[in-house]
A and B are shown apart, each in its own frame.
Chain A
Amino acid sequence: MAEEDAIFDPTLKKKKKKKKTTFDIDAALAAEGNADTDGAPTNAAESEPKEEDQDDGNVDIDLDFTKKKKKKKKPFNAEDLDAALNDSKEDGGGEGGNQEDGAADDNFDLDLLDFSKSKKKKKKKKDLDELMAETEEKAEDKENVDENSTLWVGSDRDYTYDELLNRAFEIMRDKNPDMAAGKKQKFVMRPPQVVKIGAKKTSFANFTEICKMLHRQPKHLLDFLLAELGTSGSVDGNSQLIIKGRFQQKQIENVLRRYIKEYVTCHTCRSPDTILQKDTRLFFLQCETCGSRCSVASIKSGFQAVTSKRAAIRAKTA
């Protein structure tokens, strides 16, 4: 058993990564189904080592898949991908703790869709992580459970629910690797082109292009951006967005990422294939993949402090 552990250790780590890429609710349901059917524990225990070996192979293959796919769409190199994976793992660990795996996975998605600049983001996230130190501990607990997932194979102690669930997921991923590898990688987005105009304005050059990619009305995204950034701005003749204030590309990326999380990806299955409809003043997000329909928050800019010269405002209104 000890030897086996030694062999499995690296694979287990990899599995953890992969797990986050593929957790979704359908899968969870299916997993529960699997868990039910795999009822007989003795058989399972005997067949386990073999499956493990297969699994090992598959994991590598899966990772290759993802790399290839990314390369097709974007000139990514492997290091970037690894960095992104590591990052997202940490992010997931930090933030996902309080909202179950689903949320962690969500973060991961958004990282995948990221604009290939994960390294800088890391620092910021870290600070936030400190805030959520408690939740992180929780997440670590969870990871420990993951590592123990197959420990009961040799021993005669009873298995826990989590272990069985993990096993079911592993088997499921073995049987259909395309489900695990594909799907999420569609999400790669082109980075926003942000250029400074003079000292006080910023241009978001491919704004309409990004709206088209997300299948959203430019006005909706515009409202969101301006409300989040707390400024004013407009679309000019060359279909670029001019925002008042100085913003960097990564700042815009952050806001876009939040927009996508809230208004583009389906809240149930996280597919980006959704339609935003307005129905009696409320916005509804209709998913084309799973057919779910849920309302999303309306865009409110909230309190805006006075930042310009008060005398100038008074002169304008009076």
Chain B
Amino acid sequence: MSIQNLNTFDPFADASKGADDDVQDGLVHIRIQQRNGRKTLTTVQGLSSEYDLKKIVRACKKEFACNGTVIDHPEYGEVLQLQGDQRENICQWLTKAGLAKPDQLKVHGF
């Protein structure tokens, strides 16, 4: 029987808590590109440079049973590139592994 409107709400709660174990900042762009025929490529841009992308790509290749590589781009940094349409797979995997939060993922393409 407490009055809910009078509950104390700490507006700085998440500010004081935030940025502790969160390495990933900024959006992770997941794109798809069409190749010849029905083939596609999935690129993952914007993963934090603190992560070891080579290890990530190794794990992804095994998990999704596809090939993949890390590309070093002068402007966009290291970009993950996977064969086939892995957009949903990579979204799920990144959140499950705790590398990025669902609201940090931005999926492009159709």
User: Measuring CB to CB, which residues of chain A are less than 8 angstroms from any residue of chain B?
Assistant: 98, 127-128, 130-132, 135, 158, 160-161, 227-231, 245-248, 251-252, 254-255, 302-305, 307
Contact = CB atoms under 8 A, between A and B. Distances in A.
B25 to A, nearest CB: 17
B4 interface: yes
A305 B108 contact: no
Contacts of B43: 302-305
Chain B residues touching A, majority SS: mixed
Contacts of A303: 29, 31, 43, 45, 71, 73, 76, 79
B109 A230 contact: yes
A131 B81 CA distance: 21
A272 to B, nearest CB: 23
Interface in B7-47: 29, 31-36, 41, 43, 45
B71 A305 contact: yes
Nearest to A159: B4
Given A98-B103, A247-B110, A305-B81, 13 more contacts: A131-B88, A131-B95, A230-B33, A231-B33, A245-B34, A302-B29, A302-B45, A302-B76, A303-B29, A304-B43, A305-B43, A307-B35, A307-B36
A20 B81 CA distance: 39
A161 B4 contact: yes
B60 to A, nearest CB: 15
Given A131-B91, A303-B73, A305-B81, A158 B1 contact: yes
Contacts of A231: 33-34
16 contacts: A130-B92, A131-B88, A158-B1, A228-B108, A228-B109, A228-B110, A230-B31, A230-B34, A230-B108, A230-B109, A231-B33, A246-B34, A251-B110, A255-B110, A302-B45, A303-B45
Nearest to A300: B29
A255 B92 CA distance: 21
Contact of B5 (A98, A161, A230, A251): A161
Contacts of B98: none
Interface in B89-108: 91-92, 95, 102-103, 108
The 4 closest A-B pairs by CB, nearest first: A251-B110, A245-B34, A230-B33, A161-B4
Contacts of B34: 229-231, 245-246, 307
Given A131-B91, A230-B109, A245-B34, A305 B41 contact: yes
Interface residues of B, number: 27
A131 B110 contact: no
Most buried by B among A130, A245, A302: A302
Nearest to A124: B88
Nearest to B34: A245
Contacts of B92: 130-131
B88 A127 contact: yes
B32 to A, nearest CB: 7
Nearest to A246: B34
Most buried by A among B31, B43, B45, B81: B31
Nearest to A253: B110
A224 B45 CA distance: 18
Contact of A229 (B5, B29, B109): B109
Contacts of A245: 34
A13 to B, nearest CB: 26
A304 B76 CA distance: 10
A128 B105 CA distance: 12
A229 B110 contact: yes
Contacts of A135: 102
A315 to B, nearest CB: 18
Contacts of A247: 110
Contacts of A254: 110
B33 A307 contact: yes
Contacts of A304: 33, 43
A245 to B, nearest CB: 4
Nearest to A95: B102
A312 to B, nearest CB: 12
